[in-house]
Structure 1
């Protein structure tokens, strides 16, 4: 009988807990993501302009009959949000007229050390750069005074800093950030995968347990019926592969509710959610958004440091879900493991099979959830 190495807080263990141990054995060496062929890349290029249903095989896609031209497209919406994010980030930086110093006590490998950093400018990543290149490469998340903190989020006061990675004794917080980032990446993929005939509106990322087997994102695709083929799922996965290879930082920004409403003025779900989210903030009027590449989404976070920390990955399924008070949404499901965690193909395929099953996380029941 093959044995499964136990590690209660490991994301791999959480995923594998409900799988018979006889079927699983972790590899002792890292395995790279599956090779992507020229044919797959061609499928991706075709997929980025999906026609209206019924969907023919991707290899035979042709341009559909023209519809009424949209004045607002997914691309223009994305560009507007990205521009607003950039403008607000610059405004916040320029609003700091006096640079103050703070003491940051780093605890952990390779040594405990006190750093003098710049308040509201320096981030945990900057601290890691002062200590060790190893910390820069492997740190996915920070703990600031015991609370989870994004690696790219500026420090606001004197603090104790601990840097988290995926193969430490207790990687629970890093794993949760990784899973959350998976949903952000799914929304990134969906936002740019379809023709402008279809207005993409992300509804939400329902809370999901790592043991559910997949991270998810619920989306309105403005189409009545879609049952993606394996080639189409592979084409979606390629978008993640390209993003991963760029090793882009994942940026956090806290903005006013008014700016959030302007940023998401073309998303009917977000316009209802933003007041509720803002009301729960300490000042009753703030919303946290994240940006990866030019894609901006709402989330309380935190996220991992950059897209290069994503290891083997796959978009495994898309399910239509009918939601009371909302209508038809599509639940996108994906699976990934951190780059730092090796896994052999046999075990990976078991996880993929499980991730293809419908994720039973709560389905939205009204537009304010």
Structure 2
């Protein structure tokens, strides 16, 4: 048995290998439905990742910044999965969560991606999300990672892998898409219920203007369509305020 310490300093015992999701389920089924991420001994942690030793734990829901971060980070992977399906041959750079949503830097590799394609990308993301695929973490050796991504022609990923220390490399897979990533991620794609691709921008690979110029695809997702609708209204109101301010200044 291992001791799990909660934020209120209470302690409960569990079998070694228990996951944050199982711990949440032991508290209430509603909490288990709501949690998106966790921290274990101060380290970001997937809710389906086993805990093997005594630990302090925090559980994060949507209202917590850590919960949103895991949700949007997972959504970046969902975006990449959709782009892979829609634009064969596309190559991937990095795809982090940001303060409001996420982005993925991609090399279109001959594919044309414009704002007119946004509805098609959103539709594909929602289609994939509804498959409720588990997002599965795996440890992988450096040589296996280089082969996996090299065989796919993922030169940007291979460059990143070449700089990583062997024994500390992980991938995450959902459906037919595998990405190099440290995580954490939500348990599966099911909670992603509303999607909006917001903009495109140019971005030099690794911020170096002497390197390849990629396309940065920005998006945002929510666990409810109502939340997305409210967010879009808020953006419109912010634009109106900016226009009024600009008018006064002129």
Q: Normalising by structure 2, report the TM-score.
A: 0.80
Structure 2: how far apart are the matches of 1:352 and 1:178? 24
Match of 1:179 among 68, 72, 83: 72
Does residue 133 (structure 1) correspond to residue 29 (structure 2)? The answer is: yes
Question: Are the counterparts in 2 of residues 318 and 330 from structure 1 also a CA contact under 8 Å?
Answer: yes
Question: What is the RMSD computed on CA atoms of the aligned residues?
Answer: 2.9
Distance 1:268 1:353, change over 3 A: farther
Within-5 A mapping of 1:1-369: 102-105=1-4, 107=6, 114-119=12-17, 122-167=18-63, 171-194=64-87, 196=88, 199-205=89-95, 209-210=98-99, 213-223=100-110, 225-229=112-116, 232-265=117-150, 266-276=153-163, 278-279=164-165, 284-321=166-203, 324-339=209-224, 343=227, 345-351=229-235
Aligned residues: 233
> 2:246 maps to which residue?
none
Name the SS of the counterpart of 2:22 in structure 1.
helix
* Stretches (4+) displaced over 6 A: none
Whichever of the two has the greater Rg, that structure is: 1
Name the SS of the counterpart of 1:192 in structure 2.
helix
Structure 2: how far apart are the matches of 1:236 and 1:172? 26
Q: Normalising by structure 1, report the TM-score.
A: 0.56
Name the SS of the counterpart of 1:306 in structure 2.
coil
Name the SS of the counterpart of 1:331 in structure 2.
strand
Q: Deviations over 1:210-238 (max 9, x none)?
A: 0xx44110111111754341xx2111101
Distance 1:188 1:226, change over 3 A: closer
Distance 1:104 1:245, change over 3 A: farther
Distance 1:294 1:350, change over 3 A: same
Name the SS of the counterpart of 2:15 in structure 1.
strand
Distance 1:346 1:152, change over 3 A: closer
Distance 1:313 1:329, change over 3 A: same
Tell me the CA shift for residue 162 of structure 1: 2.6
Structure 2: any 5+ residue segments left out of the alignment? 239-250
Higher strand share: 2
Question: Are the counterparts in 2 of residues 224 and 328 from structure 1 also a CA contact under 8 Å?
Answer: no
Structure 1: any 5+ residue segments left out of the alignment? 1-101, 355-369
Question: Are the counterparts in 1 of residues 139 and 170 from structure 2 also a CA contact under 8 Å?
Answer: yes
Distance 1:353 1:248, change over 3 A: farther
Distance 1:214 1:140, change over 3 A: closer
